[in-house]
Structure 1
Amino acid sequence: MDALKERLAAKLTAARERSHLLTSLDDADLVAQVSPLMSPLVWDLAHVGNYEELWLLREAAGVEPMRPEIDTLYDAFEHPRATRPSLPLLPPDEARAYIRTVRDKVLDSLDGLRPENAFLFEMVIQHEHQHGETMLATHQLRRTSSHLVEKDLAAAVTPCPPETYIPAGTFIMGTSDDPAAYDNERPAHQVDLPAYFIDTVPVSNGDYLAFIEAGGYDDERWWHPKGWEWRQNKKIGAPAFWFKEGVWLRRRFGTVEPVPFDQPVQHVCWYEADAYARWAGKRLPTEAEWEKAARWDPGRQEPRRYPWGDDHLPGRANLGQRSLQPSPVGSFPEGASPYGVRQLLGDVWEWTSTDFHGYPGFRAHPYKEYSEVFFGPDYKVLRGGSWATDPAACRATFRNWDYPIRRQIFAGLRCARSA
């Protein structure tokens, strides 16, 4: 138990350090809303503390509510992001004091930790890191230069085939025993797939530029009907944050730079990803195809937690906000899956063709609002995490989901085709 408490305390601290880094701005910047798609950063800051109080103090430790009057302010289901600036939110200093007090009480409560509540701690840690990625998307939408420091990831790049063949057969999808897994990752179940090919690496900016220059945005043949309507209404002609001034440029955290054509494309929505795949003579992989390529070990006939094995090992994926951009395609050969597919975790979230739904035998836990209320055709599943995803919130079973029009997220794609 002592080792578990120490591990949870360290992970809580790491998540909070990241939150403080992402909110180390002037008060005016913290309370501003840079886009109706995003909350003011001060809302995210107090929200992670309120969520922590709800689950780790009230639920796990049985502590009386500290600030019950603010619960509705920081309930994501009560108030859409566009309306949050109009709420009587805690000002920055008060928000910091509140989450600091919550954290102090949570660390004190670890002395009475019951093993059955360990998942709630993992859930809260992942939740804060997920908001860290959301706050990074807010920073990307800001037009001023960022205070964030980029570290050199120094990823090795080696040649690899453009596609990987995945033979037909049954594999185990999802998990029933991963202690950190959310309800939508459970339970483990068998899925039988026909043979298919999947891209060995994500689609690059250079690959995507060929689609643009071939008139892909102007050719209705490649587009889902709703996507074509969206593209025409919004007059979209390139990934978000791209523009052309003689050469193609992009704006990244307030800095304008040439588009690096060897990196995976990011900031494309599902409709753009689907159109590119059709243009390329392929399709987006199903969620099951993505997961089999990512974690099934055909030699041992068992799944892995990560493409490279069951332990998180540094240097095998671009995760954790170290580099503030994707690594070149072909990076991290040592992070490949048993089939040889690369960069399945980190770099960019990857759109799949699958609507978000529960697995056979799904049970909501610990509350239906985490997953169940989003099930249905309105949301598409993304897999794999991005460079902005912390390793604590990334594994080969992890499922993300969003509307097919979302572009501010760090999402790209890889393609598949039937054998």
Structure 2
Amino acid sequence: MKRYLFLILLVSALLVVACAPVDLNASVPVYETGIDPNAWVTVPAGEFLAGQHSKPTMIDYDYEIMVTDVTVAQYVEFLNAGLGDGTLKVSDDQIVGFYPGDEFHSGRHEMEITAQDYIYVPLNDPSSRFDFDGSAFTVKPGYENHPMANVSWFGARGYCLYYDYRLPTELEWEKAARGTDGRAYPWGWELARNNANFYTSRDPFEDMSSFGSRTTPVGFYNGKTYDGYVTLDSASPYGLYDMAGNVWQWTANIYEQMHYRFMRGGSKDTYDNDLRVWVRSNATPTYYGPGVGFRCLRTP
């Protein structure tokens, strides 16, 4: 009887630990990856194999895309600049900016998006990576080179446009992620646990005691070893990092009779299947979450 009672208590304790929330703002390890978040690469014009069934698809122009996701430090710089020049404002614990609206087609499930201010990022959210003292934004220590997450599609688009960039389309994103040989992942055909930050990848930022996870610094999976954790170099054929895992990435496409926006790449909280380059997810453009970020594109 005592043995069964012990087992019941043990299982109960494990369930409590498993359900405990992750303290997303606890101190984090700080590692220098050597990957420059200000770097860009050129994706040349030409055909590539798109989608799960490798359909030959042409993109007939060169474009440049960021090597990493936009970082918290980069986005905080934008927030301070936008707040200073009036592009952005703080309203009801949100940072908001203007969007000119979408053409409305009266689709059966289409939501009308009119010209007005929309949320970019929330303030005072447990998973925010920045602080605001009423006049300026600062990065939470240790998160400077982590991807900016908790950002809506409006917030991602707003950042890009502020610097005369834009979000990549789904096809532009996919070509940059997989190159021209039809591979399933940015680095090749197979996925190992130390290729990317995804569910239970067991990197130094993952809190296995509560089955939670945090982002890793941009470019973390570059072949280096961090405190005994060996990563594989997981760059795409064009040298982009984190095109699978860490955070989902917003894309630019706006489809007729549909208000949803699409994202690619999977995140720290998704299973391995979502890291394949053709997998899509979607959400309303006001959605934000700790596993959603973005990177920018520009054309020469």
Normalised TM-score (structure 2): 0.69
1:224 pairs, out of 81, 90, 99, with 99
* Alpha-carbon distance in 2 for matches of 1:239, 1:417: 32
Does residue 326 (structure 1) correspond to residue 215 (structure 2)? The answer is: yes
Q: Partner amino acid for 1:211?
A: F
Structure 2 partner of 1:305? 184
Q: 1:379 to 1:328 in 2, by over 3 A?
A: same
Q: Partner amino acid for 1:264?
A: P
**SS in structure 1 at match of 2:194:** coil
* Alpha-carbon distance in 2 for matches of 1:261, 1:208: 10
Identity %: 28
**SS in structure 2 at match of 1:170:** strand
The alpha-carbon deviation at position 194 of structure 1 amounts to 1.2
* Alpha-carbon distance in 2 for matches of 1:317, 1:155: 16
Q: Which of the two has greater strand per residue?
A: 2
Does residue 350 (structure 1) correspond to residue 249 (structure 2)? The answer is: yes
Q: Partner amino acid for 1:169?
A: G
1:416 pairs, out of 291, 297, 300, with 297
Counterparts of 1:87-102 in structure 2 under 5 Å? none
Q: 1:210 to 1:385 in 2, by over 3 A?
A: same
Counterpart contact for 2:120–2:154, Cα < 8 Å: no
Structure 1 partner of 2:164? 281
Structure 1 partner of 2:238? 339
The alpha-carbon deviation at position 329 of structure 1 amounts to 1.7
The alpha-carbon deviation at position 201 of structure 1 amounts to 0.4
**SS in structure 2 at match of 1:303:** coil
* Alpha-carbon distance in 1 for matches of 2:138, 2:269: 21
**SS in structure 2 at match of 1:288:** helix
Does residue 205 (structure 1) correspond to residue 72 (structure 2)? The answer is: yes
1:294 pairs, out of 148, 152, 177, with 177
Normalised TM-score (structure 1): 0.50
**SS in structure 1 at match of 2:254:** strand
**SS in structure 1 at match of 2:177:** helix
Structure 2 partner of 1:166? 43
Structure 2 partner of 1:215? 82
Structure 2 partner of 1:269? 152
Q: Which of the two has greater helix per residue?
A: 1
* Alpha-carbon distance in 1 for matches of 2:293, 2:62: 24
Number of equivalences: 241
* Alpha-carbon distance in 2 for matches of 1:346, 1:271: 22
Counterparts of 1:183-194 in structure 2 under 5 Å? 188-194=55-61
Q: 1:236 to 1:290 in 2, by over 3 A?
A: closer
Structure 2 partner of 1:244? 132
**SS in structure 2 at match of 1:353:** coil
Q: 1:392 to 1:172 in 2, by over 3 A?
A: closer
The CA RMSD measured in Å over matched residues stands at 3.6
Q: Partner amino acid for 1:214?
A: A
The alpha-carbon deviation at position 259 of structure 1 amounts to 6.7
Does residue 382 (structure 1) correspond to residue 263 (structure 2)? The answer is: yes
Structure 1 partner of 2:143? 260
Gaps of 5+ in 1: 1-19, 27-135, 140-144, 177-186, 251-256, 357-374
Report the structure number with the largest CA radius of gyration: 1
**CA displacement 1:368-414 (0-9 Å, x = unmatched):** xxxxxxx8431111000111111133211111111100013521110
Counterpart contact for 1:203–1:265, Cα < 8 Å: yes
**CA displacement 1:63-108 (0-9 Å, x = unmatched):** xxxxxxxxxxxxxxxxxxxxxxxxxxxxxxxxxxxxxxxxxxxxxx
**CA displacement 1:100-119 (0-9 Å, x = unmatched):** xxxxxxxxxxxxxxxxxxxx
Counterpart contact for 1:205–1:264, Cα < 8 Å: yes
Identify which of structures 1 and 2 has the higher relative contact order when contacts are C-alpha pairs closer than 8 Å and 6+ apart. 2
2:21 pairs, out of 146, 151, 162, with 146
* Alpha-carbon distance in 2 for matches of 1:238, 1:153: 24
Counterpart contact for 2:46–2:59, Cα < 8 Å: yes
Structure 2 partner of 1:400? 281
* Alpha-carbon distance in 1 for matches of 2:39, 2:74: 12
